[in-house]
Structures are given as structure tokens and as C-alpha cells.
Chains A and B, each alone.
Chain A
Amino acid sequence: MSEYSDKELLELFKDIEKRNFAFNLIVRKYQQKLYWHIRKIVIKHEDADDILQNTFIKVWKSLVGFREDSKLYTWLYRIATNESLTFLKQQKTKYLMPIVDYENQLKETLESDEYFNGDEILRNLHKAILGLPEKQRIVFNMKYFEEMKYDDMSEILKTSVGALKASYHHAVKKIEKYFTED
């Protein structure tokens, strides 16, 4: 499975006879990375599952027109990020919630999540991360957990490297403040 590079997968996808096979390989290659990226944004497994499916459906529909201006990997992350942000926006407007209430709800989800196995320190770390503004939270997750390069993050989030570095710096400071106040 891993012997196929993104370029080879895209070449395979262009062949109509091998399209399903190529798409299946793309899903298998990226499903875990994208799932964890989404999961850290929306916290709940069921929501992450829905968003991951929507992400790949969008990929299936748009991959024919993919112009290869960007890397497949960053393109997939961009779709997943946008889908996650759209989901959060929909949740807030659906229940007419202020941002703070929605953050609290996510923290409660984290408390009761049967698929969260971290200790108290990690739970506190994730609660602190949930207190960050959405974009800052995504930047922190990508840099800290996924160890992504700033250049790739810049392509995914369409933000300058300088702004991303500043965003990460502010995020770390806020998390530190959370821990010292706690």
C-alpha cells in the first residue's frame, strides 16, 4: 500500500478502469492521518467519522479536476480542515450557542468520551487547547501533535509562515497560562 507515491496514485486515478482502486488506496493511505486531525478539532468520534466521510466524498467528486498545483497531501488536509470548521460553525448556529458555551460543551465531551484514554495531565492539556480560538487550536494541533512543517501548514491554511509561527507562540503562552492558573 505504502509503495505508491501521491504522484503514482494520481496517475492511477486518471485511468478510468483503475479509478476505484486508486481511490481506495488514497483512502487507506490518508484515513488515519485525516481522522486524527479532524478528531482533535471536533473531539467526538461520531462527528469525526461523519466529517471524514464527507471529506473523502468531496475528494472523490473533485479529484478528477485536481490540477496538481498543490500536493495531494496538503489538498486533502485543506478539505478536512474546512469540513471540520464548517461543522463547528453549523453546530454553533444550530443551537444558537455563544463560543464560550460551545467550548465548554467540547470540554464536557472530552470528560465523558469513552474513546479518550489519557491521564489527568493530558486531559488538562486538551482542555487548555479547547480554550484556544479555532484557528489557533488547529495551528497548535498541526505543529505540536502532527509535527507538520510550517510550509505545509501555510499551504493548507492559506496563511503566511510568519503568522503561523506567531499563532503557535500565542497558543503555547495561553496553554502555559491555563496550567499555571489551574
Chain B
Amino acid sequence: MGKFNKKLEELKENNKNPFSVPEGYFDSFPQKLQERISSESPEYYWFARLFQVVKQQFALGFMIVAFAVIAITTVNVVLSDKAESVIDSDLYTRIIEVDASEFSEQHFIDVLLNDEKEIEEQKQKESDLYIYYLVDEDIDYGTLIDEL
């Protein structure tokens, strides 16, 4: 292996690069490359150059727009919260008028009386239950009161 390495080194020293290129290739290459770059996507390079020039102004403008958007959004949110808490008086009147007009005075009276009647019935049922219990257990109500 060491012998072969030496042979390789000798081979390299005694020989120049065996590959070659067409005449004038390296002289014309930069120009050829420049033409290809220009033709490939001119709009990209135009945009890149423009972007480099206006980058700082663009950043400043973007900051102002972003600040304005945040400020407007914040103000809108605050105002909308207030608006939700206050019911428009016209709307309120209209709701009362429309909804209340569907019920007569007698209807309200009937509903109230009916509610009172139900409460009375409930009380009656409960006192009946107490009486039945006292009767079943043979407890004298007068004695109970005395003991208490």
C-alpha cells in the first residue's frame, strides 16, 4: 500500500491535468453566466434590487400600519363591549309593546289567581299529611303542644 501511494504521488508529479476545455472557455464563462442570470428571471432580480432599496422605508411603513390596525381593533372592541351593555331604548319600548300586547289584563289576573290557588292546594295537602300522621300514630295534638 505504501509502495502504491508512492507510485500515485509520482504519477501526479509527472503528469499535468489530463482533462482540457474548449479554447477560451474560462474567459467567456463569466459573460455567459451573467447573460443566463439576466435572462432567467429578470423580474426576480428587479424585485430583489427594489426590495433592498426600500427595505427600511417598507419596514417603517409596515410598523405604522400594524400599529394603526392594533389601535383600531382595540378601540372597536372597547366600544362594542359598551354598546352591548346598554339596550337601545327604542328597541326596549318596541319589545314591551309587541310582547305585552299579546296578553290581556284578565290573562295576567287569571295567571296570578291560578298561582295563588296552587300554593293554597299545596299547603292543604301538607297539613292533611300531618293530620293523617297524628291520627295514625294516635298522638293527641293538645298533649304534643303541652310537651313542646
Chain A residues packing against B (C-beta within 8 Å)? 16, 20, 24, 27-28, 31-32, 35-36, 39-40, 45, 49, 52-53, 56-57, 60, 64, 113, 115-119, 121-123, 125-126, 144-145, 172-173, 175-176, 179
Contacts and interface: CB of A to CB of B under 8 A. Distances in A.
Given A16-B53, A115-B22, A121-B11, 5 more contacts: A53-B32, A57-B33, A57-B40, A117-B19, A122-B11
Nearest to B20: A115
B26 interface: yes
A126 B12 CA distance: 12
B11 A56 contact: no
Contacts of A53: 32-33, 36
Interface in B9-27: 11-12, 15, 17-22, 25-26
Interface string B31-54: 011101100100000001100110
Interface residues of B, number: 27
A115 B17 CA distance: 11
Across the A-B interface, the 9 shortest Cβ-Cβ residue pairs: A118-B18, A176-B4, A115-B20, A122-B18, A27-B30, A16-B52, A56-B33, A117-B18, A31-B29
B72 interface: no
Contact of A118 (B15, B34, B53): B15
B68 to A, nearest CB: 30
Contacts of B20: 115-117
B30 A24 contact: yes
Contacts of A122: 11, 15, 18
Contacts of B37: 57, 60
Given A24-B34, A57-B36, A115 B29 contact: no
Tell me the dominant secondary structure on chain A's binding face. Answer: helix
Contacts of A52: 29
A36 B5 contact: no
A40 B11 contact: no
